[in-house]
Chains A and B, each alone.
Chain A
Amino acid sequence: MSKLPQKELVTGERWFEPGAEIPDVDQKLHALQNQCTDCNICEIACSLVHSPVGELNPLLSRVRINHAPSVNSRKAVHDFGFVSAICHHCGNPPPCAEVCPTDAFYYDPKTFAAIIDQDKCTQCMECVPACPFDVVFVAPDGELLKCDLCGGEPACVKACATRPEMNNVGKQYTRAAVLFYEDSKGIRSIMQQKPEKRDEVGLMQAMLERGEISSSA
Chain B
Amino acid sequence: MESRLLRVNLTTGEMREEILPHSLFERWIGGSGINNWIMWEHFLSHDINCDPRGPDNIFVFGVGPLAGSGSGSGVKGRITFKSPCYGIFGDSAAGGKFPYMVRFAGFDHIAITGKAPRPVYLYICDGSAVLCDAAHLWGKNSAETHLALQAEHGDYPSQTHTLTIGVAGEHQVGIASVVSDASRIHARGGGGTVLGSKNLKAIAVQGSGGIKIHNPSGMLQWSEDFRKLIDANEAIYGFKRRGTLGAVEMYQHIGSHFWRNNQGSLFRGEEVRSDNWVKKYHKYSEVCSADCFIACDGRYKIDGTESEKSKKYVGETFRRPEYLTTGSAAGALDVRDWSEIAHWGKVTNDYGIDNQDLSCSISFIMEMKEKGEISERDVEELFGRPQRLEWGNMDDIEALLHNIATRDNLFGELFNDGPYWGALRYSELKGKNFMKYSIYGKGGASFTEEMRPFPTWMNNMAVASRGADHLKGIGLIEKFQRRDLSQRYFNGRTEAADMTIPDLKGASTALIENQVALINSYGVCLFHWMLDPAGFAPEEHYGPAYADVTGISRTPAELMKDGERICNLEKAFNSRLGLRREHDTICERWMYEPTTEGMYPGSVAADMFETVLDEYYEWRGWDKVTGLQKESKLIELGMEDVAEVLASDRALARG
> Does A pair with B?
yes
Number of interface residues of A (CB under 8 A): 47
Asked whether A37 lies within 8 Å of B295 as measured between CB atoms, the reply is: yes
Residue interface bits A188-202, CB-to-B below 8 A is 1, else 0: 000000000000110
Asked whether B216 lies within 8 Å of A54 as measured between CB atoms, the reply is: yes
Of all chain B residues, the one with the shortest Cβ separation from A213 is B274
Of all chain B residues, the one with the shortest Cβ separation from A214 is B270
Q: For the complex, give the distance between the alpha carbons of A140 and B157 in Å.
A: 7
Max chain B Cβ within 10 angstroms of own Cβ: one of A45, A48, A216: A216
Q: A37-B286, A158-B224, A164-B241 are in contact. Are A56 and B274 (CB under 8 A)?
A: no
Q: Which residues of B contact A155 (CB under 8 A)?
A: 220
Task: Apart from A161-B230, A167-B279, A217-B274, list 15 A-B contacts with CB within 8 A.
Answer: A39-B293, A41-B290, A44-B69, A48-B213, A51-B216, A54-B212, A57-B104, A80-B284, A80-B317, A158-B224, A161-B295, A165-B237, A166-B278, A200-B279, A214-B270
Of B72, B104, B284, B290, the residue contacting A161 (CB under 8 A) is B72
Jot down 26 A-B pairs with beta carbons below 8 A, ordered by A. A38-B290, A40-B68, A40-B287, A41-B70, A41-B291, A45-B220, A49-B220, A55-B210, A56-B210, A57-B210, A57-B211, A79-B301, A158-B220, A158-B227, A161-B227, A161-B295, A163-B285, A164-B238, A164-B241, A168-B284, A169-B283, A169-B284, A175-B237, A204-B279, A216-B276, A217-B275
Minimum Cβ distance to chain B for residue A19 (Å): 38
Query: Which residues of B are interface residues toward A (Cβ below 8 A)?
Result: 68-70, 72, 100, 104, 157-158, 208-216, 219-220, 223-224, 227, 230-231, 237-238, 240-241, 270-271, 274-276, 278-279, 282-287, 290-295, 299, 301, 317
A154 on interface, CB distance cutoff 8 Å: no
Of B209, B279, B290, the residue contacting A40 (CB under 8 A) is B290
Asked whether B290 lies within 8 Å of A45 as measured between CB atoms, the reply is: no
Minimum Cβ distance to chain A for residue B476 (Å): 23
Q: A159-B224, A201-B279 are in contact. Are A56 and B285 (CB under 8 A)?
A: no
Q: A59-B158, A161-B295 are in contact. Are A48 and B70 (CB under 8 A)?
A: yes
Q: Which residues of B contact A40 (CB under 8 A)?
A: 68, 100, 287, 290-291
Q: For the complex, give the distance between the alpha carbons of A141 and B243 in Å.
A: 39
The 6 closest A-B pairs by CB, nearest first: A57-B210, A37-B295, A55-B210, A164-B237, A217-B274, A54-B216
Q: For the complex, give the distance between the alpha carbons of A34 and B283 in Å.
A: 10
A60 on interface, CB distance cutoff 8 Å: yes
Asked whether A161 lies within 8 Å of B212 as measured between CB atoms, the reply is: no
Max chain A Cβ within 10 angstroms of own Cβ: one of B70, B224, B290: B70
Q: Which residues of B contact A170 (CB under 8 A)?
A: 283
Asked whether A161 lies within 8 Å of B231 as measured between CB atoms, the reply is: yes
Asked whether B158 lies within 8 Å of A82 as measured between CB atoms, the reply is: no
Q: Which residues of A contact B216 (CB under 8 A)?
A: 48-49, 51, 54, 56
Q: Which residues of B contact A167 (CB under 8 A)?
A: 278-279, 282
Q: Which residues of A contact B241 (CB under 8 A)?
A: 164, 166, 200
Of all chain A residues, the one with the shortest Cβ separation from B224 is A158
Of all chain A residues, the one with the shortest Cβ separation from B269 is A216
Asked whether B270 lies within 8 Å of A216 as measured between CB atoms, the reply is: yes
Q: For the complex, give the distance between the alpha carbons of A37 and B72 in Å.
A: 13
Q: Which residues of B contact A94 (CB under 8 A)?
A: none
Per the 8 Å Cβ criterion, residues 170-207 of A in contact with B are 170, 175, 200-201, 204
Residue interface bits A22-35, CB-to-B below 8 A is 1, else 0: 00000000000010
Asked whether B230 lies within 8 Å of A54 as measured between CB atoms, the reply is: no
Max chain B Cβ within 10 angstroms of own Cβ: one of A57, A175, A214: A57
Of B227, B282, B290, the residue contacting A159 (CB under 8 A) is B227
Of all chain A residues, the one with the shortest Cβ separation from B306 is A216
Of B70, B275, B276, the residue contacting A56 (CB under 8 A) is B70
Minimum Cβ distance to chain B for residue A98 (Å): 28
Q: Which residues of B contact A44 (CB under 8 A)?
A: 68-70, 290-291
Q: Which residues of B contact A162 (CB under 8 A)?
A: 231
Minimum Cβ distance to chain B for residue A185 (Å): 24
Minimum Cβ distance to chain B for residue A177 (Å): 8
Minimum Cβ distance to chain B for residue A8 (Å): 16
Q: For the complex, give the distance between the alpha carbons of A140 and B271 in Å.
A: 51
Q: Which residues of A contact B223 (CB under 8 A)?
A: 41, 45, 159
Max chain B Cβ within 10 angstroms of own Cβ: one of A59, A79, A161, A164: A161
Asked whether A159 lies within 8 Å of B212 as measured between CB atoms, the reply is: no
Minimum Cβ distance to chain A for residue B595 (Å): 25
Of B69, B291, B317, the residue contacting A39 (CB under 8 A) is B291
Q: For the complex, give the distance between the alpha carbons of A163 and B238 in Å.
A: 10
Q: Which residues of A contact B104 (CB under 8 A)?
A: 57-59
Asked whether B214 lies within 8 Å of A54 as measured between CB atoms, the reply is: yes
A1 on interface, CB distance cutoff 8 Å: no
Minimum Cβ distance to chain B for residue A39 (Å): 4
Residue interface bits A133-165, CB-to-B below 8 A is 1, else 0: 000000010000000000000010011011111
Of A37, A38, A56, the residue contacting B211 (CB under 8 A) is A56
Asked whether A81 lies within 8 Å of B237 as measured between CB atoms, the reply is: no
Asked whether A217 lies within 8 Å of B224 as measured between CB atoms, the reply is: no
Q: Which residues of B contact A37 (CB under 8 A)?
A: 285-287, 292, 295
A78 on interface, CB distance cutoff 8 Å: yes
Minimum Cβ distance to chain B for residue A153 (Å): 11
Q: For the complex, give the distance between the alpha carbons of A94 and B100 in Å.
A: 35
Q: Which residues of B contact A51 (CB under 8 A)?
A: 210, 216
Q: For the complex, give the distance between the alpha carbons of A38 and B237 in Å.
A: 17
Of all chain B residues, the one with the shortest Cβ separation from A201 is B279
Asked whether B283 lies within 8 Å of A204 as measured between CB atoms, the reply is: no
A20 on interface, CB distance cutoff 8 Å: no
Minimum Cβ distance to chain B for residue A146 (Å): 19
Q: A41-B72, A140-B157 are in contact. Are A161 and B220 (CB under 8 A)?
A: no
Q: Which residues of B contact A161 (CB under 8 A)?
A: 72, 227, 230-231, 293-295
Q: Which residues of B contact A82 (CB under 8 A)?
A: 284, 286
Asked whether A39 lies within 8 Å of B287 as measured between CB atoms, the reply is: yes
Of all chain B residues, the one with the shortest Cβ separation from A56 is B211
Of A41, A48, A217, the residue contacting B293 (CB under 8 A) is A41
Q: For the complex, give the distance between the alpha carbons of A38 and B96 in Å.
A: 11
Q: Which residues of A contact B290 (CB under 8 A)?
A: 38-41, 44
Asked whether A164 lies within 8 Å of B286 as measured between CB atoms, the reply is: no
Q: Which residues of B contact A59 (CB under 8 A)?
A: 104, 157-158, 208
Of all chain B residues, the one with the shortest Cβ separation from A65 is B290
Q: Which residues of A contact B274 (CB under 8 A)?
A: 213, 216-217
A111 on interface, CB distance cutoff 8 Å: no
Asked whether A168 lies within 8 Å of B283 as measured between CB atoms, the reply is: yes
Minimum Cβ distance to chain B for residue A181 (Å): 14
